[in-house]
Every structure is written in structure tokens, then in C-alpha cells.
Amino acid sequence: MRKGSVLLLPVLLIGCVGDSSTPDGGSDATTNDVVTPDTGSDVITDGGSGDGDAAVASKHAYAVNFTAPVSLLVFDMPLTSASQPTVVLPANFKAPSDVEILPGGLQLLVVDGAGNINNGPKVFIFDLPITAQSTATVAISLDMVAIDGTFDNEGNLWISGAGNKIEKFTPPFTNASVPSQTITMPTANLFGINVTGNDQLFVGGFVVNNPGHLYRIDLPTDAGTYNGTLDNQKIDQPTGIAFTNTALFVANFGIGEVDNLGVPIQSTTTPTAVGKTLLGNPARLRFTGNTLGVADSKVGIVMLDPPAYNTATITIPAGDGAVHDVRGICFGP
């Protein structure tokens, strides 16, 4: 079943998933997704997205290059296959793998995993708009090799990555911020994380050549170890999570596809592959309107067309201009 493996850094399996968003009329938000537990299953009853603010229009696309040229890229919307970034910001990043709009839509966050713990992994927060002169207003030092992040409905930031833990940071965010909660998970390489509008946190983890895991945690929780009710092992390398009204989408990095899990979602739910002929190594996912944006480290930025998500009217190829090894994408002001 596996047609590829995840590229290795010295201590880190490179696979990144983005906090995703649901069709919400072009906005990036934390408040619209609703997933209701139903005897161990998920019923998605309302659209939403994984971060930002429901009222924020998608005027720009933001992406991050994981390897050289390591940078934050800003594109004007609407995108076309010929789009080139209007801003390329190196910002002293080392290995950025995720980009998010903060709740309220006034700031942008970059998760910079840095490859290994000795390189100083950080979360950077920038004021919007991003310009070529932008510098981070907040730089949070991390004690883990971070890959992905998401915001819950209370504005807390959840971070996942290499190792077998996820961490919560409580606002206001400052350079001195430290985790307010740590949850130990059953597996390592937790490269995908996203939260629904009623605070159900989904986390994807895997070890190469073993089944992947899609976990669910009902928030708020005081647990120090995983106490969730769902462990779906049907996705080999889950590295990006996004929602629509009727389905949960997960990037399957090494397999080169996005997996569509309809509802109700259970541990036994078998996904349907989409975008398989268009993708190489999909990492983060994000919706803008009804279109699914895929940050693909091999192919570039792929915008999968609804409703089937098996065609792409717009693809900004890797290696064309500034786009290279893109791992994170989001849409916002």
C-alpha cells in the first residue's frame, strides 16, 4: 500500500500537516466546525475551519518553504497557476512547516520545527500585513520538534510534532510563554493537528511501515495522557487535517493522496482517496471557499476543485520561482 516514505532530517521525519479549514465562504476560522460525538463516531454538522476568524476574508494565501529557499510566502488572491508571491520573507526561519491565522485575523503564526531540538524550534507570531520588512513580534521557544499547530475555540494554541506529546499554550502569547498543558499520546510523529468548532481535537500520528493513527480528543480536558474515543488506523501517514460539512480530509504524505473520510467517522471508517494523480507528498491542507488548498512538498501548491477534489484548475508548481518544498498553507487577510 505504501508507495513512498517520509524524507528524513537528522532526527525528524519530515511530514507536515496543516491545520485545516472548512469551506466558509473564503474565510479562515476556528468557530464554525461542529462535530458531534455519536457512540464513538463523528457527525460533522456545520462547516468551519481550523484557525483564524470566521469574519476574515481570504485576500491572501500564505505558504512556507520547509527547505531552501526557507521562507514565508505571501500571494494575492485569487490564485492562478502563474501566481508568484508578492512577499518572500526569510525571517531567519530554519524549517517552517505550518502557517496559521490567529483568532481575530490580525496576526499570523509560523511553526518553525527547526529539524531537531538543538536548533531551537520556535513559534513565531507576526503582525499583519506581512511585508518584506516584517519581523516577529513574539518568538516562543519550544521543548519539542514542532510540526503543526491549531487554535481551539478559547484561543489556546495546540502544538504537535516529533515525539509523542502535544502541548497547549494559553494566551496572551509572549516570548516567555510555556506550555500550560501537555498530553502524552500513544504514538510518535504527530504531524497533523486540527480542532473542530465544538472543540474536538484531531491528531494524526505515524511510524513509517506501521499503521498510521487518527486520534480524537474532546476538549477541554485535564488529561495528561490520551483519553480519546477514536483511533482510526486507515491512513498510513496522516500529516494534514481539514473539514467540510460532511467529511474529514487527511493528507497522506508518503502515499501521495488526500484521504476523504465521510461521516459518521469511526475507528473502522475506510477513507476514499482524492487527488491521487495530482499529488506527490501532500502536507498541510486548508480550505478557501469550497476549494481545498494542498501544500505539497513535491508538487507545490495544489488547489483541488470541488466537489470531487480529483481535479486541480490551479497548481503553482514547486521549483517555479520562490515555491519550493512547501509544507504549510493558509488563507486570510
Secondary structure (DSSP) of 268-296: TPPPEEESTTT-SSEEEEEEETTEEEEEE
Tell me the backbone φ, ψ of residue 134, rounded to 5 degrees: -65, 140
The reply to whether 15 falls in a domain is no
The reply to whether 267 falls in a domain is yes
Kindly state the cell numbers that stand for 122. Answer: 520556535
Segment 187-200, tens digit of pLDDT: 999 999 999 878 88
Euclidean distance between CA atoms 197 and 34, whole angstroms: 5
Q: How far apart are the first and last CA of the chain?
A: 40
Segment 287-303, tens digit of pLDDT: 999 999 999 999 999 99
- Total length of the chain: 333
What's the count of helices (H) and strands (E) in the chain, helices before strands? 0, 28
Segment 202-245, tens digit of pLDDT: 999 998 889 999 999 999 999 999 998 899 999 999 999 998 87
The reply to whether 2 falls in a domain is no
> pLDDT at residue 274 above 50?
yes
Least confident of 65-74, 109-118, 244-253, 265-274: 109-118
In this predicted structure, what is the pLDDT of residue 168? Answer: 98
Percentage helix, strand, coil for the chain under 3-state DSSP, each rounded to 5: 0, 45, 55
CB 188 within 8 A of CB 209: no
The reply to whether 6 falls in a domain is no
The reply to whether 1 falls in a domain is no
Give the confidence band of 57 by pLDDT, cuts at 50, 70, 90: low
Burial of 270 (0-12, 13-18, 19+ CB in 10 A): exposed
For the whole model, what pTM was predicted?
0.86
Give the confidence band of 26 by pLDDT, cuts at 50, 70, 90: very low
The reply to whether 12 falls in a domain is no
CATH number for 203: 2.120.10.30
The reply to whether 239 falls in a domain is yes
The reply to whether 19 falls in a domain is no
Give the confidence band of 59 by pLDDT, cuts at 50, 70, 90: very high
Secondary structure (DSSP) of 202-259: EEEE--TTS--EEEEEESS---SB---SEEE---SSEEEEEE-SSEEEEEETTTTEEE
> Is 38 or 301 the better-scoring residue by pLDDT?
301
Count of domains for the chain? 1
Q: Find the domain containing 235 and state its range.
A: 27-332
In this predicted structure, what is the pLDDT of residue 209? Answer: 87
CB 258 within 8 A of CB 252: yes
